[in-house]
Each structure stands twice: as structure tokens, then as C-alpha cells.
A and B are shown apart, each in its own frame.
Chain A
Amino acid sequence: MAARQETVARVEEIDVDAYKYGFTTDIESEKAPKGLSEDIVRFISAKKNEPEWLTEWRLEAYRRWLTMEEPKWARVDYPPIDYQDLYYYSAPKSTPGPTSIEDVDPELLRTYEKLGIPLREQEILAGVEQRKIAVDAVFDSVSVATTFKEELSKAGVIFCPISEAVREHPELVRKYLGSVVPVTDNFYATLNSAVFSDGSFVYIPPGVRCPMELSTYFRINEKNTGQFERTLIIADAGSYVSYLEGCTAPKRDENQLHAAVVELVALDDAEIKYSTVQNWYPGDSEGKGGIYNFVTKRGDCRGKNSHISWTQVETGSAVTWKYPSCILRGDNSQGEFYSIAVSNGYQQVDSGTKMIHLGKNTKSRIISKGISAGNSQNTYRGQVSAHRKAEGARNFTNCDSLLIGDKCGAHTVPYLESKNASAVFEHEATTSKISEDQLFYCMQRGLSEEEATALIVNGFVRDVLQKLPMEFAVEAQKLIAVSLEGSVG
């Protein structure tokens, strides 16, 4: 009975407001002039007091970017983006870099409270049963607060905004920045390299198991701004870290650009678990507005026996172009990709992964669940490749798509490339609609069609939800129900 009440409560919640993170925060902000040029790149770099080498690195990326063309191969369709009509830097004005939570603009704190992100450590500590999660909150172009830094530093873990890491730990940043996603990688990654503003930096020293979950919360607030964050996570030999990112944005009529780069490096025997709950504003029911989410995420299993796992719940964004990948370089390394991509309204999702097997006995596993409803298009695009030396490589891929309504599309485009006879690849994919039998069964037991659909969808995505840290699994489950609102009947 309790379960039913929860379902009812959830559905009521849905009726009120489908996208509850759509508010804006009135806060004064400091922006770079509109448009992009070498001067803007220098401006961003100067704002962050960056060393000479990084400024040069950015400029080189910018010059490279000028020669590149936007990729057109994805199954997404949007009007051309005017890259000169964007703000590339926007920061809340209040304080020039808060040193403690007390310095943070109370307006900002209220924003994060509304979002349900705990930035005040004492509040978190007061809750007896609550598990500790360190949060780095990024508001437009800057990081506004990072919690639990002290406790983490006791364990030797570095968790800070990347701009701080550039100042405090230049040797680490210089060694690893751009080593997984090179400056020249692709159009959006190169753009990001030129103008990236903030993001998280994580370093886990050898043999350390990170004492708590790390998390970053990204929020786009300002109008006409692009967000270009850069995340770099390094798990040194034998370490472990679990990291979660969440994203939201206000409701606006215009489309906003988000082009992030995430780089993960796992050395010998290290493990990184990276989870994303992506809930950018998807646009309204007419398909107006929403975020363009063009993200490059890549993990490098550099050491032997290393392990990188991507879990993503994608419910937001007007257009998604995102392929979290693993380079399985070290012998016996493992890559995993678990994904739930829900699209409704006029959303377009082209997402998937790449598993590149280079080392011996490398293993990868891909579980992708796509749900499309409304007028949306949802594409899984994935590549699995085994190179000549990838002796004993193993891959299992399962992509299931679920269609709700007859105006949406679900597509699967896997590429399987094997150059090694001992590599074993298996791929399976299915596409179907919610079975009438299942719906009938649930409705006969008193559930409404909407409740029944939510229940079946949650069953459909269970394999992936189980891979999320517990607190986020609950959030993600609710998010999926909210995203599907209006798709039934």
C-alpha cells in the first residue's frame, strides 16, 4: 500500500510542474563581453589568474577550433548556433572567490537549497542517517562552494575547483589535463579547451579509498551563456572513488549551449565510478528552448587491472550529443557503461559509448536503456573495437529501447570492429513498446494508466538504476517518472 501511495504522491507532484528546476536566480553577475576571440580567451584566463602555459594552451585550442567544423553525423537536428552570440564567461559578482560558506551569497545558497543540494556541512552533519557527500557547486562559469574539503584532505584526497587546482597543484594538472581528451579531439572539446571556465578536480592518492561520495552540481543561470566546465579525475594506483554530477538550468525560450569535457584517468588497480544525473532544461512542450548538451566524456584505463564505470541517467536537454567512453589500455582493465536515456516532448538524444580495447584481457559491458515518448528521437550510438593486440578482449552489449506513443523514434546504431580473433563481442538490441499485457495486468490491479506506465518503465530501467549510489537512484527514479509526464493517454 505504501508503494501505491508513493506512486500517487509522485504523480500529483508531476501535475504541478513538470520541470521543477526551471526557476531563475536574480543575482548580479560579471560577464565577459559577448562573442569569442583571442581576447576573450585571454580574459577568461586572466580572470582565473592562470599561469602562462595554460593561457597558451587555451589559445592554441582556440586557433585550432577556428579551423574545425561542427560534427553533423549525429541524428539530431537544430538550427545553426551562432558562436559569437554567446557569453563565454559569467560569474556571480558577490565575492571574488568565497573562502568559506559564510562568504557565499545567500541568494545562491537559497538556489542550491531549492535544488536540494546541501552546501552547508553542518546541516548535513546534523542529519544522523544521511550519508556524507562532498559537493562542488558550479554556478554558470565558477565554482561557488566545495564542502568537506578538510575532511577529504585528511585522507590525502584533493577535491577542488579546477581553477584552484591549476594554482595549487600545477604539476598534476599539467601532467593530466588534455591527456585523455586531447585539445584537438573534436569541435566541442576543442572549444571547451579554449574557454573552459570551471569544473572539479579530483586526485585520489595511491591506495586510498575515497571516504565519501564526491559530487558536483552544475547550474546554468545566466541568459545567453554557454557553460563549459572541465572535470579531471585522477585515481592513482590502487585507489577508489565514486563521483556524481547533477545538472539543472532555468526555463528559458532560447537554447543554451553546454559543452563540457570530462577526463578520467585510472592508474594500476584503480577504480573510478562516475555517475551522472543530467536534468538540464529540456525545452517546453512545443520544443522551444532547452539546453544543447554537447559533451565529451572519456575515461582512460591507463594502468593494469584498472576499472572505469560510467552510469548516466539522461532526462533533460533539448539536444544531447554525448558518448562517455573508455580506453582500455591497461591489461585486464574493465570498462562499463550503464545508461538510461529518457526523451519526451521534442527532445533529441544521440548518446552512447565507445569501448576501445587495446590491452590484453580487457573487458567491457554496455547496458543501455532508451525510452522515447512524445515527439522525441532517441538514438543509441556505440562503438566497440578490439585492436590487434587486444588478446582475449570481451564485450557484452545490450541496448533496449522502449517506445511510448506513435510519434517518437528509437534508433540503434552500434559499430563493432574486431581485429583480433580471440576477442569475443556480443551485441543484442531490442525495440518494443510497453506490452499491452503488462499494462492490462497493472491496471486490473487498480493502477491508472500513468501509474502503470511509470511502474513498468521503472522495471525496464532497473538494471541501470541499481548501479547508481542509493540516494541518487531514488532521485533518478522520480526524475524518470516526471520526464514521462504527459506521454500516456
Chain B
Amino acid sequence: MTVQAIDKKSEAETALAGAFEAMKGKGAAALRQASWEFFARKGLPTRRVEAWHYTDLRAALRSVAPLGAPGTVAVPAAADGRVRLVVADGAFRPDLSDVAALPAGVELSSLADALAKDDSAVLTALGLPENAGADAVVALNAALMQDGVVLRIAPATEVAKTIEILLLSSGDAARSAFTRSLVVVGDGAKAKIVETSVALAPAGVQENHVLAFSIGAGAEVEHIADIGPQSEAAIRLFSLMVTAQTKASFKSLGFVEGGGLVRRQIFARLAGEQASLSLDGVALLGGKDHADTTLVVEHAAPHCQSRERFRSVLDGQSTGVFQGKVVVRPGAQKTDGSMQSRALLLSENATMNNKPELEIFADDVVCGHGATCGRLDADQLFYLEARGLPKREAEALLIEGFAGEIVDAVSEEATRESYFARIRSWLGRREDGK
């Protein structure tokens, strides 16, 4: 088998070059240019790129949809008590956002404004973190970023209200969007940030979103990435980047409800001593959904802790991917890391690919990972059926328990309940589909 270098640009890659020309003049020229050159060299990732082994983006992205533009959007009602910031079709929409409701100590600007002003603090923070540096999709985002929000939370501020970044796609036309948002959390501050991806009408959207957190010493952040259903033709890429300083804590839940191709990538770096990280995830997939979660957790300082728990439920002809890599750098002694990925295959045609990885360069560590894959336990099903539950209900109960175990860790009760409701409604749809 000869290895052929990809020297020919695909149709999509050529179209992206056109999009870059359009975005070139919109601030951050140096960063955009360098990122574009990097991307142009690498091209769209294929199976040959180890981090994209199970998701061939080059094959999936045949043609590129035109960049979205702001239009009239009917924003769905917000959950109680949340401050909502709307990014619709690639543009931050202050007119649709609760800008006035932002609590004291939280400063907001749009990314487009910050870039136009060449805000040096923002530009520095947008630079690629080390462990995301090799990813072509993150570089592509930096080259083409249209807009997003920049939030600065002042040191020692406790933000009581949850801030929601709503990533909307309106209309049923295929569009592409490249957004990048930045949350800088000052030392000792506390915040809850929810990132929600909602389709007002299902469409073959192509989205590339980046959300970067810079978390100061002793600060605490809770994060939810809520990725709702979309059309089968949609391609959505979400990159989450986290840098946590000394004693900082970051807790995150990713809730993925299918919808075409979804790729979540997380690049987290524990940069200060005693920082802690917890990444949870649930993926409910059916039809031809393809959901990929790929994460790299880098322990760069001693005495840090990381926990990853991921659950995938796969029905129909769906494909689930989990690739998790824990890297312990030289000198990051007393690291405590554990990672778990479990998958439940409900259909004969579903596929799960698990790749939990450990890369350890320090000796005084306790690291482990576990991965399982299988179908519903026959004994448990029998137990429930013996107590008179119909088979479907028994299955639903077990699936809810399987996914619910992760959702259970959400601290806010109303939010937690809403995710349980989402699981039940997914199970209901599964039932109807049969």
C-alpha cells in the first residue's frame, strides 16, 4: 500500500480558501494569516490523522455552505433566571441578548469588535493553547472566525446567574458559521456558563465553534455544552479549550443529542498546582448520527486531579466515538487521573469506537481508565420484566439510569431535571420510531 500525499485540494478546501479571502480584512490579520497557512498545509483532517481516526471530516465535508449573515430570528424562550447571549448565524446579536441583565463584575464585548480594535489582551488569549496547536479545525476557526462573545469576570466575583451562550442557526438553508468565544475568569471568581446549540429549523448547517476558558487561581467554573438535535446533513464541530491555574476548578457536562455529524473536542490544561477538572458527557444517538468526543487532558503541574466520565447510547445505524487522552508531563507528580467511557449498543447496526489513552512521563501518579461496550444487561431486563414491566418500559428505565447517572451530577435542580426530561423524550421518540 503506497501512501499518497494529499497534494490536491478538495472542493471544500478550495471553497474555504474563498471564505478566508472574505474574512481576511476583519481584524487579527497576523493570527488569521498564520492560522490559515497552518490549515492550508494540513488540509481537512482524514482518518490518517490519528486524532480524527474515526471521523473523516474531509470525506464528510464535500462542499462548503456560504457563510451565514444576521437576519430576523425568533429567539425561543429562555430558562428562568439565565442571562442569555445570542450568537445567531455566526454573529453576536446584542439586540436579542439580555445585555442589561449581566451582573456587576462581568464585562462583555463582541469578538468582532475586539478583533476590529486589535485588542491585544483578547488576541493573546485567542492564541492556540499548546495541546490544541496541532488541530486543523481549531486553526481553521482562527482563520475564519466571524464573531462570538468575550466575557471577563472580575476577580472574586460570584456570578449567581447562569450565563447562557446560545448558538443559533435560523432558517432552513445550509449555512456555515465560525464563532469563537472567550471567557476569562478572574482569580477566585465563580461562574456558570452554558453553551447551547439550537436549530430553529433543521438544516444542513456547517458550524465550527470554539469556546475558550482561561480560569484564574482558585476560580470555579461550571460549564454545560448542550448540543441539541439537528438535521442529518448537519456538520457541527465544537472545540472547548480550558486552561486552569492553581487551585482552579472546572466542571463540565456535554449533552449531545445527535444530529448529523457532531464532533466535540476538548483541550484542557491543568497549568497550576492542585487544579481540578471534571468532564462528563452523555450522547444519545439514533438514525445515522455520528458523534465523536475527543479530548486531551494535560497535567502540566503537580497535585492536579482530573475525572472524565462519558456515556453513549447508540441506536439505529449511529456511530459513537470516544477518544480520551490523559497526558502527564514530566514533573507533574502526584497526579490523580481517571477516565471512563461506557457505551450501550441498542441496535444491531450501531457502532462504537473507544480509544482511551494514557501518556505518562512522571512516576508518582495514579492514573487509570476504563472502557466498556455492550448491550443492556439481560439479567437486569429480566428482573424488571419479572416485576411486570413491559419490555420497552424496562429498557427505557435502564437506559435512563445509564445516562442519568451522569446528569445526576448537575448541581442546579431545575437544569438537572430538564436533562432527565430530555432523556425521557429521546426515549419516547425512540419508541415512536419503531
Tell me which of B229-237, B243-251, B356-364 binds A.
B356-364
> Chain B residues with Cβ under 8 A from A410's Cβ?
358, 360
- The winner among B3, B356, B360, B372 for most chain A CB atoms within 10 A is B360
From 364 to 417 in chain A, residues with beta carbon under 8 angstroms from any chain B beta carbon are 388, 401, 403-417
Quick check: B365 and A425 within 8 Å, CB to CB? no
Q: Complex: how many Å from CA A417 to CA B1?
A: 23
CA distance A101 to B184 in the complex (A): 79
Question: Which segment, of B209-217, B288-296, B341-349, B420-428, faces chain A?
Answer: B341-349
Give A415 to B356 CA distance when docked, in angstroms. 8
What are the residues of chain B within 8 A of A422 when measuring CB–CB? 374-375
A421-B367 Cα distance, complex, nearest whole Å? 29
A398 to B359, CA, bound (A): 16
- Please measure, in the bound complex, the distance between the C-alpha atom of A431 and the C-alpha atom of B330, giving whole angstroms: 15
CA distance A421 to B2 in the complex (A): 35
Set of chain B residues within 8 Å of A405, measured between Cβ atoms: 363
Tell me the complex Cα distance, A170–B94, Å: 81
Task: Answer yes or no: A67 CB below 8 A from chain B CBs.
Answer: yes
Contact yes or no, B360 A411, CB < 8 A = yes
Residue ID in chain B nearest A378 by CB atoms: B360
Q: Which residues of B contact A81 (CB under 8 A)?
A: none
B390 close to A (CB within 8 Å): no
Which B306-330 residues have C-beta < 8 A from chain A?
330
Produce 1/0 per residue, A49-80, CB < 8 A to B: 00000000000000000011100010000000
Closest to B322 in A: A416
- Which residues of B lie under 8 Å from residue A69 when comparing CB positions? 2-3
**In the bound complex, do residue A408 and residue B374 qualify as a contact, i.e. CB atoms below 8 Å apart?**
no
Is A409 in contact with B359, judged by CB distance below 8 angstroms? yes
Cα distance, A423 to B369, chains bound together (Å): 20
Contacts of A409 in B (CB 8 A): 359-361
User: Which of B1, B348, B360, B369 is in CB contact (< 8 Å) with A403?
Assistant: B360
Q: Would A418 and B345 count as touching, CB distance under 8 A?
A: yes
Please state if B353 and A432 are interface contacts (CB–CB under 8 Å): no
* In-complex Cβ contact of A432 among B357, B367, B374 (8 A): B367
User: Does A132 lie at the interface of the complex (its beta carbon under 8 Å from any beta carbon of B)?
Assistant: no
The yes or no answer to A169 lying at the interface (CB within 8 A) is: no
* Known contacts A411-B359, A413-B357, A425-B373; is-contact A430 B367 (Cβ 8 Å): yes
Residue of A nearest to B342 (CB): A426
User: B368 near A430 (CB under 8 angstroms)?
Assistant: yes
Verify if A155 is at the interface (C-beta below 8 Å from B).
Answer: no
CB distance from A463 to the nearest CB of B (A): 17
Let me know if B110 is at the binding interface, CB within 8 A: no
**CB atoms of B363 and A423 under 8 A apart:** no
Closest to B328 in A: A431
Residue from A404, A420, A426 having most chain B Cβ neighbours under 10 A = A420
A419 CA to B375 CA, complexed, in Å: 11
- In the docked arrangement, what's the CA distance between A297 and B346, Å? 35
**Which residues from B are CB-within-8-Å of A432?**
365-367
Residue of A403, A418, A427, A430 touching B352 (CB-CB under 8 A): A418
**Contact (Cβ within 8 A) A421 B357:** no
Chain B residues, CB < 8 A from A403: 360, 362-363, 365
CA distance A68 to B1 in the complex (A): 6
Interface check B179, CB cutoff 8 A: no
B299 to chain A, nearest CB (A): 12
B184 shortest CB reach to chain A, Å:
33
| Minimal Cβ-Cβ distance residue in A for B339 | A429
Identify which of B350, B354, B366, B369 contacts A412 (C-beta below 8 A).
B369
A474 contacts partner chain B, Cβ-Cβ < 8 Å = no
Chain A, range 24-69, C-beta contacts under 8 Å to B: 67-69
Judged by a CB distance under 8 angstroms, whether A433 is at the interface is yes
**Is B276 engaged at the interface, CB distance under 8 Å to the other chain?**
no
Say yes or no for B398: interface residue by CB 8 A criterion: no
Contact yes or no, B372 A427, CB < 8 A: yes
B293 nearest CB across to chain A (Å): 14
A458 at the interface (CB under 8 A from B): no
Question: Nearest CB to that of A385 among chain B residues?
Answer: B353
A184 within 8 A of B: yes
In the complex, which residues of chain B have a beta carbon less than 8 angstroms from the beta carbon of A414? 354-357, 371
- How many angstroms from the CA of A401 to the CA of B360 in the assembled complex? 10
Q: Which residues of B contact A411 (CB under 8 A)?
A: 357-360
Q: Do the beta carbons of B367 and A427 come within 8 Å of each other? A: no
- Residues 424-456 of A at the B interface (beta carbon under 8 Å): 424-433
Given known contacts A68-B2, A415-B353, A421 and B360 CB-to-CB distance under 8 angstroms? no
CA distance A413 to B327 in the complex (A): 12
Known: A415-B353, A433-B363. A420 touches B348 (CB 8 A): yes
- Minimal beta-carbon separation of A462 from chain B (angstroms): 20
Interchain CB contact under 8 A, A416 and B358: no
Q: Closest A-chain residue to B353, C-beta based?
A: A417
Q: Which residue of A lies closest to B355 (CB)?
A: A415
B375 to chain A, nearest CB (A): 4
- Assuming the contacts A416-B373, A421-B346, A422-B375, asked whether A431 and B365 have C-beta atoms less than 8 A apart, the reply is yes
Contacts A418-B343, A418-B345; is A184 near B1 (CB within 8 Å)?
yes
**B351 CB-CB contact with A under 8 Å:** yes
The smallest beta-carbon distance between B298 and chain A, in angstroms, is 14
Instruction: Check B351 against A406 for contact (C-beta < 8 Å).
Output: no
Q: Are A421 and B347 in contact (CB under 8 A)?
A: yes
Q: Which B residues touch A413, using CB under 8 A? A: 355, 357
B333 at the interface (CB under 8 A from A): yes
Interface residues in A268-318 by Cβ distance below 8 A to B read none
In this assembly, does B50 line the interface, its C-beta being within 8 Å of a C-beta of chain A? yes
Pick the contact of A425: B3, B355, B369, B371 (CB < 8 A): B371
CB-based contact B368/A421 at 8 Å: no
Q: Is B370 an interface residue (CB 8 A)?
A: yes
Contact A406 B364 (CB under 8 A): yes
Q: In whole Å, how far is B46's beta carbon from the nearest beta carbon of chain A?
A: 14
Are A424 and B374 in touch, CB under 8 angstroms?
yes
In angstroms, Cα B363 to Cα A413, docked, is: 18
Q: Which residues of A contact B372 (CB under 8 A)?
A: 424-427
Residues of B within 8 A of A433 (CB): 363-365
Q: How distant is the Cα of A424 from the Cα of B331 in the complex, in angstroms? A: 38
- Cα distance A415–B351 when bound, in Å? 13
A selection of 8 A-B contacts at a CB cut-off of 8 Å is A68-B1, A414-B371, A416-B353, A418-B353, A421-B347, A423-B374, A427-B369, A429-B358
Residue ranges of B at the interface with A (Cβ–Cβ < 8 Å): 1-3, 50, 330-331, 333, 343, 345-348, 350-375
Known A403-B360, A423-B345, A429-B358; 14 more pairs at CB < 8 Å: A401-B360, A406-B331, A412-B358, A413-B357, A415-B354, A416-B371, A417-B351, A418-B345, A418-B352, A424-B372, A424-B374, A424-B375, A426-B372, A427-B369
A contacts, CB < 8 Å to B = 67-69, 73, 184, 388, 401, 403-433
Complex A-B, nearest 3 residue pairs according to Cβ-Cβ distance, in ascending order: A421-B345, A403-B363, A424-B374
